[in-house]
A and B are shown apart, each in its own frame.
Chain A
Amino acid sequence: MSSAEILNELREIMIDVFDVDDLEVTPATTAEDVEEWDSLSHVRLVVAVERKFKIKFKNSEIEALKSVGDLVNLIEAKTAA
Chain B
Amino acid sequence: MLFNSYIFIFGFLPLALALTYLAGRFLQPLAKLTLTLLSLGFYAFWRPVHLPILLFSIVFNYVVGGIIQRAYAAGKERTVRVWMVLGLLVDLSMLGWFKYANFVAENVASLTGVPDPLPHIILPLAISFFTFQKIAYLIDSARGDARPMSFLDFSLFAAFFPQLIAGPIVHYKEVVPQIQARTFGRLISRNLLVGLTIFAIGLFKKTVIADTLASQANPLFEASGAHAFNLASGWMAALLYTFQLYFDFSGYSDMAIGLGRMFGVKLPLNFHSPLRAASVIEYWRRWHMTLQRFIVAYIFQPLSVPLNRYAAEKGLQGWGAFGVAVAVPTFVTFVAVGVWHGAGWTFVAFGVMHAIYICVNEAWREHRKRVRRKLRKQGKTLGEPAAPERVSYHLLTLLGVIYANVMFRSKSVGDAMEVWAGMSGFRGLDLSLPAALGWGVWSALALAFGLVFLAPNTQQIMGRFDPAFNWREWKDAAPAPIRWTWRPDTAGLVFAGVVLIAGVLMVQRGRAIFLYFNF
Contacts and interface: CB of A to CB of B under 8 A. Distances in A.
Interface in B354-404: 362, 369, 372-373, 376, 381
B473 A38 contact: no
Contact of B381 (A21, A44, A50): A21
B444 to A, nearest CB: 34
Interface in B286-326: 296-297, 300-302, 304-305, 308-309, 312, 325-326
Interface in A1-48: 19, 21, 32, 38-40, 43-44, 46-48
Contacts of B304: 40, 43
B473 A19 contact: no
Contact of B297 (A19, A46, A63): A63
A19 B381 CA distance: 12
B281 interface: yes
B309 A47 contact: yes
A43 B475 CA distance: 25
Nearest to A57: B305
Given A32-B473, A38-B285, A43-B308, A62 B301 contact: yes
Nearest to A42: B301
Contacts of A46: 305, 308
Nearest to B297: A63
B301 A40 contact: no
B511 interface: no
A59 B305 contact: yes
B143 interface: yes
A50 B306 CA distance: 12
Interface in B50-104: none
B305 A40 contact: no
A64 interface: yes
A44 B301 contact: no
A22 B300 CA distance: 29
A9 B301 CA distance: 24
Contacts, number: 44
Contact of B302 (A32, A44, A50, A59): A59
Interface string B336-368: 000000000000000000000000001000000
Chain B contact patch, size range: 20 to 34
Given A19-B372, A43-B308, A51-B312, A38 B281 contact: yes
B326 A47 contact: no
B281 to A, nearest CB: 6
Contacts of A19: 369, 372-373
Contacts of A64: 143, 145
Contact of A63 (B285, B301, B373): B301
Contact of B309 (A39, A40, A50): A50
A44 B372 CA distance: 19
B400 to A, nearest CB: 17
B301 A39 contact: yes
Interface in B470-503: 473
B70 to A, nearest CB: 18
B36 to A, nearest CB: 30
Contacts of A62: 301, 305
B305 A21 contact: no
A63 B143 CA distance: 10
Interface of A: 19, 21, 32, 38-40, 43-44, 46-48, 50-51, 57, 59-60, 62-64
Minimum-distance CB pairs A-B, first 8: A60-B143, A47-B308, A19-B369, A43-B304, A39-B296, A59-B302, A43-B308, A47-B309
Given A19-B372, A38-B281, A47-B309, 20 more contacts: A19-B369, A19-B373, A21-B376, A39-B300, A40-B326, A40-B362, A43-B301, A43-B304, A46-B308, A47-B305, A47-B312, A48-B312, A57-B305, A59-B301, A59-B302, A60-B142, A60-B143, A62-B301, A63-B297, A64-B143
